[in-house]
């Protein structure tokens, strides 16, 4: 299966973001890509205004998600995260859309309350750990940005059968932050013997650095500019081979809880 991480700078204007995603879906379809992974918060974002994503939030049946549902009818599954308004709350929601419907939803549980930021001032956290989902017989997991700092959540997905983990993100720049992003994506792949696809939003505030990683922790492709694509040819046979020689999931003796009581 061919998977693509499509990195870009999210605009404050949802129409601009929708136009970009439409072009990426068309290109993905032409290139034989089955699953397109987008960054975090793709409805609206402003690097100078932390409130922009929340102010731009839409209901799940609003125009932005509805348009992506229609786009998925072209044969390209779309994964990304969206700030969605439900009653008086705004949630940071990962959606996977395929064949004209939403096939998976995960509400981000680890909000970015670190490095002098406090996402929980604006966003309501999810309460349920993510579950795997299938596309064409391949089992995936999806986590969002800051989630990658919590290894038990990726391990839980791997133990539930995930062969690849998708990580939409808007990873904030700062000292060593590029190293943190790369190191943790590689670690989540290697320690769980899974493919990892990280797709980062890129602007003057966020690092981008989208990349794909194989089950032995080798970075296969990456993006260095503001806009770009990182492609992955996911080979289930490679996964079987790696897990036969490095059976960490079979050998583990202790399973940490995935969500504190």
Pairwise CA distance, residues 117 & 183, whole Å: 21
Residue 152 annotated to the active site: no
Of the residues 24, 108, 119, 199, only one is catalytic, namely 108
Q: In sequence order, what are the residues at sequence separation of 6 or more whose Cβ sits closer than 8 angstroms to the Cβ of residue 68?
A: 21, 78, 97
Q: Taken in order 49, 54, 58, 64, is the CA torsion positive or negative? A: positive
Of the residues 40, 119, 199, 201, only one is catalytic, namely 40
Of the residues 24, 119, 145, 199, only one is catalytic, namely 145
Cβ-based neighbour number of residue 28 at 10 Å: 24
Residue 204 annotated to the active site: no
Pairwise CA distance, residues 114 & 93, whole Å: 19
Residue 119 annotated to the active site: no
CA distances from 95 to 4, 91, 118, 195, 213 (A): 16, 12, 23, 19, 22
- Phi/psi region, residue 233 (left: phi>0; alpha: psi -120 to 50; beta: rest), is beta
Kindly list the catalytic residues.
40, 108, 145
């Amino acid at each position: 299966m061919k998977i693509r991480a499509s990195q870009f700078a999210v605009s404050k204007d949802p129409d601009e973001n929708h136009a970009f995603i439409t072009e990426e879906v068309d290109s993905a379809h032409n290139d034989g890509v089955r699953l397109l992974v987008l960054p975090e918060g793709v409805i609206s974002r402003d690097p100078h205004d932390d409130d922009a994503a929340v102010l731009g939030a839409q209901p799940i049946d609003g125009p932005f998600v509805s348009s992506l549902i229609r786009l998925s009818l072209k044969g390209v599954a779309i994964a990304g995260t969206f700030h969605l308004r439900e009653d008086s709350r705004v949630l940071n929601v990962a959606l996977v859309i395929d064949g004209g419907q939403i096939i998976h939803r995960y509400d981000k549980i680890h909000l970015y309350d670190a490095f002098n930021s406090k996402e929980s001032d604006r966003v309501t956290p999810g309460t349920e750990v993510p579950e795997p989902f299938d596309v064409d017989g391949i089992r995936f997991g999806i986590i969002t940005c800051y989630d990658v700092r919590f290894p038990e959540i990726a391990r839980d997905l791997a133990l539930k059968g995930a062969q690849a983990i998708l990580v939409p993100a808007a990873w904030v720049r700062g000292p060593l932050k590029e190293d943190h992003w790369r190191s943790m994506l590689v670690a989540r792949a290697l320690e769980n013997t899974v493919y990892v696809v990280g797709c980062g939003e890129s602007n003057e505030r966020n690092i981008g650095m989208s990349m794909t990683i194989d089950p032995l922790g080798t970075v296969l492709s990456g993006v260095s500019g503001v806009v770009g694509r990182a492609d992955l040819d996911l080979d289930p046979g490679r996964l079987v081979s790696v897990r036969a020689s490095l059976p960490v999931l079979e050998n583990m003796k202790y399973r940490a809880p995935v969500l504190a009581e």
